[in-house]
Chain A
Amino acid sequence: MSAAARPAPPTAARKSAAQRQRRALLIGLTFLLPNILGVAVFTVFPVVFSLVMAFSDWDLTQHNMFKEGLPKFIGLENFVDLITGDRFFRFFANTLFFMMGIPVAVGGSLCAAILLSKDTSAGGGRPYLWLLAGSVLVVSCVMLTASGLGSTAMMLLLIGTACGILLMGVTGGLTFYRTLFYTPHFVAGVATMILWKKLYAKDTGPVNAAVRPVLEVVGGVTQSAPAVPTVIGWAFTALLILLFGWGLGRLRTMRVEGDLGAAAGALPLVLLFIPACIAAIWDLGGPLMRVVPIGISAVAVVQLVRLATAQERFPVNAPSEGFGSALVFALLAMVGQFILLGFAAVALNLAGFVEASAAAGRETLIEAPGWLTNPDFAKPALMIMGFWAAIGSNNMILYLAALTNVPGELYEAADIDGASPMQRFWNITWPQLAPATFFIFVMSTIGGLQGGFEMARVMTQGGPDGATTTLSYFIYIEGFETGRLGYASAVAWTLFILVFSVTLFNWKFGNKYVND
Chain B
Amino acid sequence: MKLVFLVVSLLLGLASVGIWLTQPDLASDKPVIYWVTDRNPARELQVERFHQWLVHEGHVDEHGKPIVELRLDMANAQVSKIAIQSVSGVASDLIDTYGESMRLLQAMGVLTDLTEDAEAMGFGPNSTYDAMGPDLMVDGRQYRYPANVSVNLMWVNPELLQRYGLDPPPPRWTWADFEQLGVAFKKAANSAGTRPADRKFISSHLMAHVFDLTNGVDPLNETLTGSALNNPAWIESLKTRKRWIYELNILPTPDDVAAAPTEQGFGRSALQLFGREQYAMLPGGRYMLVQLRRYSQIRELDVVEVPHNTFPAAFISTRAVALYKGSKHPELAKLFLAFLASEAYSQTIVEDADALPPNPEFTRGEAFRSPSNYPREHGVHEIFADAAETIAVSMAYSPYVLPSIINRERNNAEQAYFNNRLTAEQAAEQAARLIDRQIQAELYRKPELLAAYARDAARQRVLEELKAEGKPLPETWIKNPVHRAYYQAKGRLTDQTPPEPTPVVLPFDDEHAVSTVNESAS
Contacts and interface: CB of A to CB of B under 8 A. Distances in A.
A27 B3 CA distance: 12
A374 B80 CA distance: 28
A311 interface: no
B419 A465 contact: yes
A197 interface: yes
Given A57-B445, A202-B259, A373-B254, A66 B107 contact: no
Contacts of A65: 87-89, 326
Contact of B404 (A57, A60, A200, A481): A481
**Most B Cβ at <10 Å: residue of A31, A372, A464:** A464
A67 interface: yes
A203 B255 contact: yes
A454 interface: no
A363 to B, nearest CB: 9
Interface in B400-437: 402, 404-405, 411-412, 415-416, 419, 421
A374 B419 contact: yes
A465 B109 contact: no
B412 A465 contact: yes
Contacts of A380: none
Given A60-B87, A67-B109, A481-B404, A201 B255 contact: yes
Interface in B252-275: 253-256, 258-259, 263
Secondary structure at the A interface, as helix, strand, loop or mixed, is loop
Interface in B469-494: none
Given A202-B258, A465-B419, A27 B2 contact: yes
A67 B36 CA distance: 23
**Most A Cβ at <10 Å: residue of B258, B325, B411, B446:** B258
A197 B264 CA distance: 12
A451 interface: no
Given A27-B2, A61-B107, A480-B83, A66 B325 contact: yes
Q: Place the interface of chain B in its size category.
A: 35 or more
Interface string A433-477: 000000000000000000000000000000111100000000000
A17 B357 CA distance: 80
B446 A62 contact: yes
Contacts of A201: 255, 258-259
B197 interface: yes
B196 interface: yes
A194 B5 CA distance: 44
B238 interface: no
A386 interface: no
Contacts of B419: 374-376, 464-465
A483 B104 CA distance: 9
A67 B84 CA distance: 15
A64 interface: yes
Interface in B236-250: none
Contacts of B108: 60-61, 64, 66-67, 483
Interface in B322-372: 325-326
Contacts of A480: 80, 83-84
Contacts of B416: 375, 465
A261 to B, nearest CB: 43
Interface in B282-339: 325-326
Contacts of A198: 258
A249 B7 CA distance: 71
Nearest to A66: B109
B195 to A, nearest CB: 8
A472 B89 CA distance: 27
Nearest to B80: A480
A481 B80 contact: yes
B365 to A, nearest CB: 42
Nearest to A69: B448
Contacts of B411: 463
Given A202-B258, A203-B255, A203-B259, A59 B445 contact: yes
Contacts of B84: 480
A197 B263 CA distance: 11
A50 B87 CA distance: 17
A373 B253 contact: yes
B258 A197 contact: yes
Contacts of A197: 258
Nearest to A30: B5
A370 interface: yes
Contacts of B104: 61, 483
A40 B107 CA distance: 33
Contacts of B197: 203-204
A482 interface: yes
A61 B263 CA distance: 36
B196 A204 contact: yes
Contacts of B402: 61, 482-483
Contact of B83 (A60, A203, A464): A60
Contacts of B255: 201-203, 370, 373
**Most B Cβ at <10 Å: residue of A61, A198, A464:** A61
Interface string A366-385: 00001011111000000000
**Most B Cβ at <10 Å: residue of A67, A197, A200, A483:** A483
**Most A Cβ at <10 Å: residue of B88, B197, B412:** B412
Interface string A31-71: 10000000000000000000000000101111011110000
**Most B Cβ at <10 Å: residue of A27, A200, A466, A481:** A481
B2 A203 contact: no
Contacts of B259: 201-204
Contacts of A466: 412
B109 A64 contact: yes
Nearest to A463: B415
Contacts of A482: 402, 404-405
Contacts of B5: 30-31
Nearest to B446: A62
Contacts of A376: 419
Contacts of B405: 482
Nearest to A370: B255
A424 B326 CA distance: 70
A228 to B, nearest CB: 27
A201 B254 CA distance: 9
Interface string A161-201: 00000000000000000000000000000000010011011
**Most B Cβ at <10 Å: residue of A27, A57, A202:** A202
A203 B2 CA distance: 65
A204 B258 contact: yes
Nearest to A201: B258
Contacts of B256: 203
**Most A Cβ at <10 Å: residue of B109, B256, B446:** B109
Contacts of B109: 61, 64, 66-67
A174 B2 CA distance: 43
A88 B488 CA distance: 43
B272 to A, nearest CB: 16
A60 B254 CA distance: 34
A197 B412 CA distance: 21
Contacts of B110: 64, 66
A481 B405 CA distance: 9
25 contacts: A30-B5, A31-B5, A59-B445, A61-B104, A61-B109, A64-B86, A64-B108, A65-B89, A65-B326, A66-B87, A66-B108, A194-B263, A203-B197, A203-B258, A204-B197, A204-B258, A204-B259, A370-B255, A374-B419, A375-B421, A463-B415, A480-B80, A481-B80, A482-B402, A483-B402
Given A60-B108, A62-B446, A67-B108, 6 more contacts: A60-B87, A64-B108, A375-B415, A480-B80, A483-B108, A483-B402
Interface of B: 2, 5, 80, 83-84, 86-89, 104, 107-110, 196-197, 253-256, 258-259, 263, 325-326, 402, 404-405, 411-412, 415-416, 419, 421, 445-446
Interface of A: 27, 30-31, 57, 59-62, 64-67, 194, 197-198, 200-205, 370, 372-376, 463-466, 480-483
Sort A-B residue pairs by CB-CB distance and give the 4 closest, nearest first: A203-B196, A202-B255, A64-B87, A203-B259
